[in-house]
């Protein structure tokens, strides 16, 4: 695939903190650092997969990038413009260019209204004075996801899970965005439906040169759809590389554990790599030094005290890893 090298979205030193509820009156405030100084870019027409275990900060990062969550520190650049603190018309224009597809297709659709009305909702916000255009664009979006425009008057419960996810994708496409952020869009679907949705994303990407941030925990899905892969652990990017490069030769110990967790026919029952965890990814108290050192078989004293910097591997600037020994 020919990818324009220009980035459409750039995250610079992005941070997001959440304050936890107090355990008791006058107890000190507890802060969770969900995203820690993340640098990331997505190029025009590219699929960047963001992978990691539950609690690693993937969804938070995606929602910060879409300006659903306000960031605590850092910058978000879209098409070269700083939109970190944009308001009003500038933010409205940004939202027209960036759309989301959520994990649960039924939960993201209002069960009380027909799917046609759900699909046209973004159009009613962006172009409120043109109902004819809204209806036309909704029909076109349904056709793009291989659903009949005649289904616009039906309700979400009348569709299967895969069809509901197609409707959610149609709603994301109706504004003709430049970037879609898909947050675990196939994890709630069975395997046969997963392949249909993944193929649909690839067809749409080729047809309209969409950029796609694909959030997942499934390495097999990453291998199928991604151009590049960013591996996230406890709010930090620990490795980023072209998909083929990372699948063939993952360098960070955590990336290797993720790769080893992919089921293989004929190997019998294996213990999942996540069962070795001695530190949960959603703890509020996080380790000093390298975030992975509590689970890493190669950890040494420097790992417990110094957090490694994400840096290129030798002269290969397409492959970066945050490890003291790579």
Residue ranges covered by each domain of the chain = 7-19+31-261+272-321
Residues in the chain: 326
- Between 79 and 21, whose confidence is greater? 79
Q: Please answer whether residues 101 and 66 qualify as being in contact, where contact means their C-beta atoms are separated by less than 8 angstroms.
A: no
H-helix or E-strand containing 203?
A: helix 191-208
Mean residue pLDDT of the chain comes to 86
**For residue 288, pLDDT beyond 90:** no
- Between 11 and 191, whose confidence is greater? 11
Q: Please answer whether residues 38 and 309 qualify as being in contact, where contact means their C-beta atoms are separated by less than 8 angstroms.
A: no
**For residue 211, pLDDT beyond 90:** yes
Look at the domain 7-19+31-261+272-321 and name its fold. Rossmann fold (3.40.50)
Mean of the pLDDT values across residues 18-30? 79
**For residue 273, pLDDT beyond 80:** no
**For residue 294, pLDDT beyond 50:** yes
DSSP string over 103-148? S-TTTTS-TTS-HHHHHHHHHHHHSTT-HHHHHHHHHHHHHHTT--
**For residue 185, pLDDT beyond 50:** yes
Which of 52, 51, 57, 8 is closest to 36 using CA atoms? 57
pTM of the prediction?
0.87
Query: How large a percentage of the chain has pLDDT more than 70?
Result: 91
Mean of the pLDDT values across residues 49-54? 93
pLDDT of residue 5: 61
Mean of the pLDDT values across residues 161-180? 91
């Amino acid at each position: 695939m020919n990818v324009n090298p220009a980035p459409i979205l750039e995250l610079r030193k992005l941070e997001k903190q959440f304050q936890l509820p107090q355990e008791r009156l006058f107890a000190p405030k507890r802060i969770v650092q969900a995203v820690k100084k993340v640098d990331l870019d997505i190029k025009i027409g590219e699929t960047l997969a963001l992978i990691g275990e539950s609690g690693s900060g993937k969804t938070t990062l995606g929602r910060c990038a879409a300006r659903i969550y306000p960031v605590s520190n850092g910058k978000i650049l879209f098409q070269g413009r700083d939109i970190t603190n944009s308001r009003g018309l500038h933010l409205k224009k940004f939202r027209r260019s960036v759309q989301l597809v959520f994990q649960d297709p039924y939960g993201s659709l209002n069960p009380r209204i027909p799917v046609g009305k759900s699909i046209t909702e973004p159009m009613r916000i962006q172009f409120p004075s043109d109902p004819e255009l809204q209806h036309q664009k909704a029909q076109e979006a349904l056709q793009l996801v291989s659903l009949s425009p005649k289904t616009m008057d039906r309700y979400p419960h009348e569709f299967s899970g895969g069809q509901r996810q197609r409707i959610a994708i149609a709603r994301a496409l109706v504004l003709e965005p430049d970037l879609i952020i898909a947050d675990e869009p196939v994890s709630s679907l069975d395997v046969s439906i997963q392949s249909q949705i993944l193929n649909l994303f690839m067809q749409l990407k080729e047809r309209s040169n969409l950029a796609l941030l694909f959030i997942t925990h499934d390495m097999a899905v990453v291998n199928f759809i991604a151009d590049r892969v960013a591996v996230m652990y406890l709010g930090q990017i620990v490795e980023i590389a072209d998909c083929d490069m990372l699948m063939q030769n993952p360098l960070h110990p955590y990336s290797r554990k993720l790769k080893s967790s992919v089921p293989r026919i004929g190997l019998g029952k294996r213990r999942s790599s996540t069962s070795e965890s001695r530190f949960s990814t959603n703890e509020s108290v996080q380790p000093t030094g390298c975030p992975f050192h509590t689970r890493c078989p190669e950890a040494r004293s420097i790992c417990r005290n110094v957090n490694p910097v994400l840096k290129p591997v030798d002269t290969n600037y397409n492959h970066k890893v945050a490890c003291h020994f790579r």
